[in-house]
Structure 1
Amino acid sequence: MPAQRPLFAALLCATALLPLAAQAESVKLTLLGVGDVYNFTEEDGRGGFARLNAVARAERAANPNTLYLFDGDMLSPSLLSGFDKGQNTIDLTNIVPFDLAVPGNHEFDFGPANFLEKVKASKYPWAAINITTADDKPLDGFGGVMVKDIAGLKVALIPVAQDTSPSVASTGDLKFLPTVDTAIKAAKAAREDGADIVVGVVQTDMDNDRKLLKSHAFDVILSGDDHSYATAYDGVTAYVETSIDGQFLSPVDLNITVGEKDGKRTIAWTPAFRFVDTASVAPDPETQAMVDKLSAGLDETLNVEIGTTETPLDSRRNVVRAEEAAIGNLIADAMRDATKADVAIMNGGGIRADRTYDAGTKLTRRDILTELPFGNVTVLTEIPGSQLLGALENGVSQVEKGAGRFAQVSGVTFVYDASAEPGARVSEVMVGGQPLNPDALYKVAVNDYILGGGDGYDALGGGRLITDTGAGNLVATDVMNYVEKSKTVSAKVEGRIKKLGQ
């Protein structure tokens, strides 16, 4: 009779003869999102493409399962984009290409033809599932939902653009489907098609972000547009609002466990948010060399003093989009002076440097072009007072949202009530010291963007064009000429725009 084997050995052999139970596998997926990257240089030692590229290289080196994703706004506005229509941003990001890029509204500031030209020059794919041509066809060279196979996982990237782009940029006849509904529908379809992880790469405001989060159709949402930094996790969806100019970054590590339950594959994950202040990041040498070359070319042309401001100026976003601003008065005065108009209107969203100037500051060409980077042209139209009133109504119709349509003005004063319904907020309009006559004709200087209906200024259309885009100067040129001619300027807040109750 053969000797008996020890019990543990018998059990071991028996286990070896059974089908192997599925072993849980662990995968770390890193998602690095960035958006609203305009300026090629750093600011106060933080941000800029050289530091951004350094972070992206480091993340990919640390984890090959890394996706580097862009969520909109790069080609404009910036000082250099006023000259090259955003080509510098393509050249700089081509050094460390994205895995996927979604266009923001500012990708269309120079029109759709320029954007598609830049798409072709990119060494990475662009996509947005809610943009089509006028006849409902996909854009040439443009993608849709992207599914990446990463360590055996199907990761679906849902790229969605801002559906308000036609009202805030020069999108031509392109169609933009609703951001939220389109994104959620695509995310659910990707899940049904077997995606293990669903990532929204979106360019939209926080109101829409909240709707996307609430849907729980996504595992992760990377969002741009708001120029702020934020992270959140509600137990179902992780969220990153991706800051501005690459100043603060938040790589998200998804620690994923792939297992099996009741014969079915299971996916479980937890997020780990990391905070990167790029002030602590050494610039990527290859990118920095290109940045230095671009900077040198600009310095010679732009670091020329043109005049002095005797009063402080404030172009911060929350000021020029919400109240009468001294710098808004300066710009509108320059436009009116250049065209001999009765009234000038400048949309606050077109004033971009987001900074302050102390009294006594020497103004340079660089300062003015940084404030006015879009390359917009001053145009002169003649419209009845009723349309002028409509334009002013539009200017304050979304003041509570900080919308870029807020009107900085010259030659006109008015009062508005932010608590009233949009379209019925403006009163006590005076032009040249006289009450507005709805039937009288007024010469109004504006930029070509809002004349074409940008920022909701449809009320400016249909007038008699006295100076059109082809004959006008750049708004920036008119302001530079005005400052240079004056030598000293003393713009200040003087009651052109009054909010009821203040």
Structure 2
Amino acid sequence: MKLTYLLFACCMTLPSLNAVAAKLQIVFTSNIPNIIDDDDKVGITQLAGFYENLEKRNPQGVLFLHGGDSLFPNALSNYDQGAHMIDVLNHLPISLMFANQSEFSLGVDNLSLRAYEASFPLILSNIVDTRTWDSIEGIQPSYILSANNIDVGVFSLVDSSITSNYVIPNVTLLDLQNSIDDSAESLKEQGADFIVLMSEEDLLVKLEGVDLSEIDLLLLANSGEDYVDLNAKPVRVKSGGQDGEVALISIDTQHNIEATIQSYASSQSSLQLELVIQAYVNRIDSFLSQYLYTTTQEISTKREDSRVKETVFGNLVADAIRAYLSADIAIVNSGSIRGERIYPKGSQISRLDIRQELPFGSAVYAIELTPQELKKVLEHSLSGLPQAKGQFLQVSGINIEYDSQLPAGKRIISLKRNGQALTQNTYSLAVSEYLLKGGDGYAMIANKKPMSNQHYSRLTWEIVSEYLLANENLVSADIGKRLIDLSQ
């Protein structure tokens, strides 16, 4: 990942950090949900070591602002609802954390429990609990941090897409501009003299259309390319992901700002944090390390593949839950596939791999749909193309011919099952609990009553693991027949 500076004049050069009398330094990152590291990812133990070294050089002058999206998804959170991540994060010197979208994966009440376990404040400014018409219990709307005589007021905003990405009843989003104005005014009344807004990349377009004149620094959580824009008003910094990089921002007494993207990949790991993490890993290592399958071809779980077309892994997941529920058809939202990996031919896939690919805790159900209702579901799946969106469905038990160039809602050309048109009055459809509650915009099946005796508590990753173990020879490399884009 490369640092990108966005400059108005290509001939400008940035002064070094030493050119600014740095009274305060802010470390910022986000999207670090895994304590079990892949070979190509840098661990949070090294991030802890990076901060420790920084604090030695600037005692009492460093703040660690965490952009969230880190309690979920990961290999352990469905066992303990994210409690282990809070324990791990408590061993990092975090000043505060933005309660971002994925922190809502298991609902508002679970987030409240995790917030009370945290040794640092979690903040979110534009969501209220409709049961109390106040901030979510345990979550602060804003917070003031002090370091080296600078009082930093911080608030955070989440994008409205959270209500379709996650099933979170009993909450409502506040008006964006009002949230900004009210939060900045409140923080200044409390004595803050430097205002930081933490948000997410998905909200950036909307933020560019509102008044940010009261904001000094905009921090954006993301898992993509990090960058710094010192010429933006306010100064804009984006950082996140397990890529071995963080943003380091320096602020002097006149509130002049310098910022760079720093690597912590070579930092010495924190021994204390390593011991904490190893204790969690040891609990499930022997079970999760069991190998289930050796790949006979390359398999991709990259979002640029699974969110726009049929994939081997998507077929596997859909086949597994259809078999588990003995359903006619199965659908899997590609946004639930999160491994972001390429498995070369000959790779050994373990339970841990499956768990990391399917980290969200979701039971599965069978519901009944008419062919017309099923078509509406599948049209919604295709409506996001050509963009790679999580609503795109991987399927089993049905063949879909469509034209992605046609208007959204009118893209399906034909639907067939076993080579025949859909002629039955209804079909049983295997779906996740997330989709059944209307997640990813599937309001057309929200709260459909599950078929009798079809309430199962096993999670998707467990179902897929057992299916793979029992049906190794059934994993098909023959793709391209379930989802056929006639425009290609």
**Shorter-normalised TM-score: what interval?**
0.7 to 0.9
Q: Counterparts of 1:106-117 in structure 2 under 5 Å?
A: 106-117=102-113
Q: Which residue of 2 aligns with 1:351?
A: 337
| Bigger radius of gyration | 1
Please, which runs of 5 or more residues in structure 1 have no aligned partner? Answer: 1-24, 258-267
Matched letter for residue 355 of structure 1: R
**Which of 136, 155, 159 lines up with 1:158 in the alignment?**
155
Pairing 1:275–2:261 present: yes
Q: Is the 8 A contact 2:297 2:346 kept in 1?
A: yes
Task: State the 1:183 CA deviation.
Answer: 4.8
Counterparts of 1:170-249 in structure 2, within 5 Å, are 170-178=167-175, 180-186=176-182, 189=185, 193=189, 195-205=192-202, 207-208=204-205, 211=208, 215-245=212-242, 247-249=244-246
Distance change >3 Å, CA 336–CA 414, structure 1 → 2: same
The one of 450, 473, 476 equivalent to 2:461 is: 476
Residues 287-298 of structure 1: pairs in structure 2 closer than 5 A: 287-298=273-284
Superposition pairs of residues 80-91 of structure 1, within 5 angstroms: 80-91=76-87
- 2:365–2:430 contact (8 Å) kept in structure 1: yes
Q: Match for 2:466: what amino acid?
A: N
Shift of 1:411: 1.4
* Aligned residue number for residue 438 of structure 2: 453
Gap change, CA 1:45 and 1:358, over 3 Å in 2? closer
User: Residues 388-399 of structure 1: matches in 2 within 5 Å?
Assistant: 388-399=374-385
> 2:390 and 2:158 mapped to 1: Cα distance?
18
What SS does the aligned partner of 1:167 have?
helix
Q: 1:153–1:367: structure 2 CA closer, same or farther, 3 Å change rule?
A: closer
Which letter maps to 1:415? E
Q: Give 2:289's aligned residue.
A: 303
Partner of 2:32: 37
Shift of residue 331, structure 1, vs aligned partner: 0.7
TM-superposed CA distance for 1:240, in Å, is 2.0
Distance in 1, Cα, partners of 2:55 & 2:26: 10
- Deviation digits for residues 350-394 of structure 1, max 9, x if unmatched? 011110112232221112111111121121111111221111122
Residue 360 of structure 1 is aligned with which of 346, 357, 371? 346
Give the Å deviation of 1:207.
3.9
Q: Quote how far apart the aligned CAs of 1:469 are.
A: 7.2
- Using the size of structure 2 for normalisation, the TM-score is 0.88
Distance 1:434 1:185, change over 3 A: farther
1:212-269 CA-partner distances (Å, limit 9, x unpaired): 7984542211111444422222253222222213632111112342xxxxxxxxxx51
May I ask how many residue pairs the two structures share in their alignment? 465
What is the TM-score with the length of structure 1 in the denominator?
0.85
CA 1:154–1:473: 2 relative to 1, 3 Å: closer
Flag the 1:461–1:144 CA change in 2: closer, same or farther, 3 A.
Answer: closer
Q: After the TM superposition, which residues 135-154 of structure 1 pair with which residues of structure 2 at under 5 Å, given as runs?
A: 135=131, 136-154=133-151
Which of 85, 94, 106 is 1:98 aligned to? Answer: 94
- C-alpha displacement at 1:419, in angstroms? 4.2
Whether contact under 8 Å (2:230, 2:258) holds in the other structure is no
What is aligned with 1:28? 23
Which blocks of at least 5 consecutive residues in structure 2 are unaligned? Answer: 1-19
What SS class does the counterpart of residue 275 from structure 1 fall into? strand
| Structure 1 counterpart of 2:123 | 127
| Alignment pair present for 1:409 and 2:395 | yes
Computed over aligned residues only, the root mean square deviation of the Cα atoms, in angstroms, reads: 2.5
In the alignment, is the contact (CA less than 8 A) between 1:415 and 1:429 conserved in 2?
A: yes
Structure 2 CA distance, aligned partners of 1:233 and 1:492? 50
Q: Distance in 2 between matches of 1:229 and 1:405?
A: 26
CA deviation after TM superposition for structure 1 residue 26, in Å: 5.3
C-alpha distance in 1 between matches for 2:171 and 2:30 = 22
Structure 1 residue 467 displacement after superposition: 5.9
**Alpha-carbon spacing, 1:415–1:368, altered in 2? closer, same or farther (3 Å):** same
1:159-199 CA-to-partner distances (Å, cap 9, x unmatched) read: 22232222112323122235x43553246535874743221
Aligned residue number for residue 338 of structure 1: 324
Q: Distance in 2 between matches of 1:418 and 1:188?
A: 44
User: Offset of 1:210 from its aligned partner?
Assistant: 5.7
**Cα distance in structure 1, aligned partners of 2:323 and 2:304:** 27
Post-superposition shift, 1:32? 1.2
Query: In structure 1, what is the equivalent of residue 5 of structure 2?
Result: none
Distance 1:132 1:183, change over 3 A: closer
Q: Determine if the alignment matches structure 1 residue 465 to structure 2 residue 450.
A: yes
SS of the residue aligned with 1:415? strand
**Deviations along 1:285-344, whole A, 9 cap, x unmatched?**
110111222222232111112233323211012211122111101111111122221111
